[in-house]
Amino acid sequence: MHSFAHHRHRESAKETKGLILNGGWRYDLMVWFCDTFLFCGQVRQLRQRTATLARIQPGDAVLDVGCGTGTLAMEVARRVDRAGRVVGVDPGTEQIAHARSKAARRNLPIEFQIGVIEQLPFPDQTFDVVLSTLMMHHLPTSLKRQGLTEIARVLKPGGRLVIADFKHKKERTGQAARFHAGGSSMQDLAALIKEAGFSQVETEEMRPPRFSAFPGAGFVWAHKS
Ligand SMILES: C[S@@+](CC[C@H](N)C(=O)[O-])C[C@H]1O[C@@H](n2cnc3c(N)ncnc32)[C@H](O)[C@@H]1O
């Protein structure tokens, strides 16, 4: 599925043990194709639901970690309005370049930076909300732990975290069980989030519609104590 995946990309990309995707516009085309013809619009709905669960308010400072080509960040920018701040980080240089050009075309003041979850380039307590969609399954467990500690560091006290990800292969059924993608168990992810010091951890399942190849996804959301 990800022919443009690398563990490292040229000098300018950040080193990471995560799987960097670097497709830029090709990534968007692939997601559009899969979502339209195979997933019955579930990826689009997943991003909308992520923003809704975060209860984003005008004026919020929001970080999208593993932002890819910035589609969720653009949805969020409309919700925070001009008083807010939206930042996206991703190690993929072509993802970030394409995100910047999409935001510029839409005249949205989003800051896109090359960066990794394990070393977020922001001071402590910078953000009201941190989001991440379809990214955690690209990281080994040790990196997920490190990344969640970093997210807790950059969130303000009482700040909100929402993560959406594919379901773990073993949790899927039927056609979706055969579909590629590592996936994280939502229960394991929730446990890691608690371990990182978050409270009020909740989960929600997104079931694939009938006759869709969507592999199933889940949401975990929590507050920084
Ligand atoms: C499947 S894409 C999802 C992109 C976007 N969130 C979306 O919903 O379309 C996963 C993204 O995670 C990024 N990624 C991989 N390792 C990462 C890391 N260590 N820190 C942050 N992002 C990472 C990849 O480069 C890729 O753009």
- Tell me, what's the pLDDT at 181? 41
- Tell me, what's the pLDDT at 11? 38
Residue 88 Cβ < 6 Å to ligand 1: no
Q: How far, in Å, from the CA of 105 to the mean position of ligand 1?
A: 22
In one-letter notation, the amino acid at residue 48 is Q
- Tell me, what's the pLDDT at 16? 87
- Tell me, what's the pLDDT at 1? 44
Other C-beta atoms closer than 10 Å to the C-beta of 200 total 11
Counting Cα atoms < 13 Å in the Cβ hemisphere of 52 gives: 8
Q: How far, in Å, from the CA of 92 to the mean position of ligand 1?
A: 8
Spatial contact of 154 and 127, defined as CB atoms under 8 Å apart: yes
Residue 68 Cβ < 6 Å to ligand 1: yes
Q: Report the predicted TM-score, pTM, of the whole model to 2 decimal places.
A: 0.90
Best residue among 33, 44, 90 to mutate for probing ligand 1's pocket (most ligand atoms within 8 Å of CB) is 90
Residue 131 Cβ < 6 Å to ligand 1: no
Between the alpha carbon of residue 111 and those of residues 22, 52, 93, 135, 151, the distances in Å are 18, 21, 14, 19, 17
Q: How far, in Å, from the CA of 64 to the mean position of ligand 1?
A: 10
Per-residue pLDDT of the chain (225 residues; tens, 9 = 90+): 455 665 554 435 677 888 888 889 999 999 999 889 888 899 999 999 999 999 999 999 999 999 999 999 999 999 998 899 999 999 999 999 999 999 999 999 999 999 999 999 999 999 999 999 999 999 999 999 999 999 999 999 999 999 999 887 655 555 444 444 445 688 999 999 999 999 999 999 988 777 788 888 999 999 998
Atom of ligand 1 nearest to the CA of 21: 25
Between the alpha carbon of residue 9 and those of residues 3, 16, 25, 158, the distances in Å are 14, 10, 17, 36
Residue 70 Cβ < 6 Å to ligand 1: no
- Tell me, what's the pLDDT at 225? 87
